[in-house]
Chain A
Amino acid sequence: MKPLFYDFKRSFLRPATVLSLVAFIVIGVGLSYIVTTTLSTSGRIYTEGFGKIDLSNGNFIFYFNAYDANLKPLNSNVAIYLGIMNTSAKSLSADAFQTLKSWTFKATNGFYALNDTINESVLSQIMSSQSTTNAPSNMVPGIRIQVSSSLGVSGEIIGLAMKEGDRYAYIPPFGGFSIIDQSGNMIGVVRAYLNKDELILTALLDLPGNGFTSRCAILNSTFIPQGAEALNNTIYLGEANSGLNVYKLNLSDMNISSSSISNVYLTVEGPDGKIYSSFSLPIERISTGRLQGEIESISTGSAGIALFSLFFPIVVLYIAYALIAKPKGMGALEFLLARPISRWDVYISRFTAGALTTLVSSAVFLLAFDASLMLITGYGISASHLVIIFLGILSSLLAFYSVCYMLSTVLGGSKYLSLSILLYLFFTMIYNIIIVILGTELYGTGMYLSNNFARLQYISYYFNPIGLVNFASYFIGRSLNTMQEISVVNPYLVAVSAILWIALPIVIGWLLFRKANLSR
């Protein structure tokens, strides 16, 4: 086995490195959850649902669909409660709802079709509460729906749509607009989205048979056709089936300006010519990429990946200790040097082994973090941003490793540990405090401080090996438009700074090591 790989193996597989890496991977997974938690409280999701109860036999059908903010099918957990709601309660909260029966399901890939039977006792309670003669007018049958996902939550309490004597009680569509026939029988719900030039209609339908087709009319604010006029202007969308129907139209292909349209309505025609139609429903404009941006912004921010670049240097300084400072302090390098090997071989092979450990550790951490983020949210960090943050972390860790390695060539054992830990504290804390004090002294505490402090901070990062990673966050922030431009950040200067931080300590370390007395 090549000694370099042996050195790499024992630096990478040593307990301190492995345990730290495992810890950071766990932290990475934890960070994914932090991202998810942040998004689930502030994130936007799109849900729609429709259902009906056959009051003659208790058969219950419920269709559900969920999208994330980018209209990607969203895995979500759904709970449905059938019961009696108190409409006179101050707020229509869960407290105002008496559950008679409940269902929970996981809508994998967004969609789920629930089919169940409601027993007679529940049915009779529903029917009696609906009856104006048997129940107080403020207690009506209803449905409570709760949706939770990694990217957001939603909840609704709605009354059942049913008339005394009707066979079906409908769960009025939520999140969209109902599709009904002329008698008021509901067959589904529809929702319309506009993503750039693409109009997307999603319809949850419960159709009485086959052979149905869908059409739509696109409206602008000044043209709202009604009746036959409306039908004459409809666009054929395709077949309609029970369950989820997704129709996509490219507006530019149809010479329709996406900016001018405001509403759409859907018609579903049966094989017998019977028409079911939605109300005019407003189009929801989707801004794709926002969610991705939010995820990346949180991921690469101070509570995300930056934690790795802040704390992994402790492992890095230990690697330099294990590879050079400790054996040198013990006098163990002498025995090795008596072999057919030059000092340069020992010096560069062990540096490379530590650098490879840093590289692989960073890559493993980032991939684990990205994979868990992908698994939990369905979104990862984009490849280009992943490369930028990887280079940022790597250059930062390598720069600090080079400095530690240089120290390890002149200091052995405990002296090295003391000084390198001091150096770590200096670059991660003391240095930043000095910059804050300097900023305050230079610009005071008024409005000039905030304007100039960022510049000062970024200037300081050029002179701090551990600070280099901040440039990666900056470049990603700029790319996501979440950061304002800072004039002092120049990609070429950043590259020069990184190269110098890595190369200079290696050169100085070598000049010291080549003549060093390696005896204990």
Chain B
Amino acid sequence: MFNGLIEIKNVSKSFGNHKVLEDVSFTVGNGEIAGYVGLNGAGKTTTIRIAVGVLPPDNGDAIIDGISVTKEKKRASERIGWVPELPIFETDFKVIDYFLYIAGYYGISVDSAKRLAKEKLEMLELGNALNMKLAALSQGMKKRFALAVSLINDPPNFIFDEVLNGLDPQGIVFFRELALKFKSQGKAVLFSSHILSEVQGIADKVVFIHKGKILGVYKMNEIADIAKPAIILKVDKVNESLYVLKEFGKAEVRGESIALLDPSASTGEIVKALLEHGINVLELKQEEKGLEEFFFRLIKDGGN
């Protein structure tokens, strides 16, 4: 039995001598939005291209609803939609013609495909662009067209690859709401981004990738817990303080101050412990840590 609808299993990929993915595994379940976060070049798009079947992996496999992409590509592709960051089409096609052409691969007759094209393209505000050349579409329109094509058979799984890049605020809201709508419909949604805050508010969990390796998979509430504020202290005895503070978390010297990261106790308890060891606290403040810092710290820590 499979654990989720989109399963990436031990996928590795190299381009020449450059290892792009190394034993990447994660799953996205039904009715779940998974953020896929990593820096540019981390391997997100390569993972996604393997998942949608356009790039064969060196090792491992992508399983869509229990169907192997490498072994049963056609069946697997019927069950997944993909909106790439920069959709590239054959530019000599008109919007309607390319829709009909691709609908042919889904075995849809011309008449049905025409009806479907009208419905989907109008729904995505491309009704006026039917006879436009694909080359003439803006980035936003291309993404909406890619979405329209992916909705031809309303697949139960969806992958959005850096889809918010280059969109206006309206476009960003549209795709975020769409992801939530798909989630409510029970679809599995993988939403990739190089900015963690982009998936904040919609993702149920986040898969972190860095240099081709998965750093970790965290539920959003776990991330919120981990991303607690740090305590910045100015004390009169720095070395003794570090000894005391390590009982409460990771402490590091920042100039004349000490930063206590992820404190395991309340501020009051920490100050009390310092005083009991004869250390005077000259200044104390709390530092707000965002998701990005969490992410960068994750990278820095190598996933530990």
- Residues of A287-327 at the interface with B, using a CB-CB cut-off of 8 Å, are 322, 326-327
Count of interface residues, chain A, beta-carbon cutoff 8 Å: 29
Q: Are B88 and A520 in contact, CB atoms less than 8 angstroms apart? A: yes
Contact among A331, A341, A343, A518 with B105 in the assembled complex (CB-CB below 8 Å): A341
Q: Roughly how many angstroms separate A326 CA and B90 CA in the complex, as a whole number? A: 8
Our pick among A6, A334, A339, A514 for the contact of B49 (Cβ within 8 Å) is A334
- Chain A residues whose CB sits within 8 angstroms of the CB of B91 once the complex forms: 330, 332
Give CA–CA (A503, B91) in the complex, Å.
Answer: 30
**CB nearest to A1 among chain B residues:** B110
Contacts of A90 in B (CB 8 A): none
A10 at the interface (CB under 8 A from B): yes
Interface string of A185-227 (1 = CB under 8 A from B): 0000000000000000000000000000000000000000000
Closest to B153 in A: A340
Q: Known contacts being A6-B101, A6-B104, is A340 close to B78, with CB within 8 Å?
A: yes
The complex places the Cα of A188 from the Cα of B105 at a distance, in Å, of 76
**Residue in B closest to A7 when the chains form the complex, CB atoms:** B101
0/1 string, B54-80, CB within 8 A of A gives 1: 111000000000000000011101101
Please give, as numbers and ranges, the residues of chain A lying within 8 Å of B92 by CB-CB distance.
10, 14, 322
The residue of chain A having its C-beta at the shortest distance from the C-beta of B145 within the complex is A335
* A442 interface residue (CB < 8 Å to B): no
Instruction: Using CB atoms, name the residue of chain B closest to A2.
Output: B104
Are B88 and A330 in contact, CB atoms less than 8 angstroms apart? Answer: yes
In the complex the two chains form, what is the Cα distance from A163 to B55 in whole Å? 100
- Would you call B15 an interface residue if the criterion is a C-beta within 8 Å of the partner chain's C-beta atoms? yes
Q: Is A341 touching B88 in the complex (CB atoms < 8 A)? A: no
A338 CB contact (under 8 Å) in B15, B77, B100, B106 = B77
If the complex has contacts A6-B104, A335-B87, are A340 and B110 also in contact, measured as CB distance less than 8 A?
A: no
CB distance from B73 to the nearest CB of A (A): 5
CA distance A170 to B102 in the complex (A): 80
Q: Mark B103-124, 1 if CB is under 8 A from A, else 0.
A: 0111000100100000000000
Residue in contact with A519 in the complex, picked from B52, B55, B56, B90, CB distance below 8 Å: B55
* Interface check B29, CB cutoff 8 A: no
CA distance A335 to B87 in the complex (A): 7
Establish whether residues A335 and B77, one from each chain, have CB atoms under 8 Å apart when the complex forms: no
| A:3-21 near B, CB below 8 Å | 3, 6, 10, 14
Q: Smallest distance from the beta carbon of B81 to chain A beta carbons, Å?
A: 8
Q: Please give, as numbers and ranges, the residues of chain A lying within 8 Å of B74 by CB-CB distance.
A: 340-342
Chain B residues with Cβ below 8 Å from A414 are none
Does B53 lie at the interface of the complex (its beta carbon under 8 Å from any beta carbon of A)?
yes
Question: In whole angstroms, what is the CA distance A135 to B238 when docked?
Answer: 146
Asked whether B84 is an interface residue with its Cβ less than 8 Å from the other chain, the reply is: yes
Q: Give the shortest distance, in Å, between B50 (CB) and chain A (any CB).
A: 11
Choose one: B55, B88, B104, B110; the contact of A335 (CB below 8 Å).
B88
A339-B105 contact, Cβ under 8 Å, with A1-B110, A14-B92, A330-B91: yes
Provide the residues of chain B in CB contact with A336, threshold 8 Å.
90, 102, 105
Q: B82 — which chain A residues lie within 8 A by C-beta?
A: 338
Assess A340 versus B88: contact at CB under 8 Å? Given A334-B54, A517-B55, A519-B55: no
Is there an interface contact between A519 and B49, defined as CB atoms closer than 8 Å?
A: yes
Judge whether B89 and A339 touch: CB under 8 Å: no
Closest Cβ of chain B: how far from A349's Cβ, in Å?
9
Against B, the Cβ 8 Å flags (1 = close, 0 = not) of A425-445 are: 000000000000000000000
Taking the closest CB of chain A, its distance from the CB of B258, in whole angstroms, is 48
Residues of B in contact with A (beta carbons under 8 Å apart): 15, 49, 52-56, 73-75, 77-78, 80, 82, 84, 87-93, 97, 100-102, 104-106, 110, 113, 146, 149-150
Other 9 A-B pairs with CB < 8 A, given A332-B90, A336-B102? A6-B104, A10-B92, A326-B90, A335-B149, A338-B77, A340-B77, A517-B15, A518-B55, A519-B54
Q: Which 7 A-B pairs have the closest CB atoms?
A: A3-B104, A337-B54, A334-B54, A338-B52, A340-B77, A340-B78, A331-B88
Q: List 5 A-B contacts (CB under 8 A).
A: A14-B92, A337-B54, A338-B54, A339-B105, A342-B73
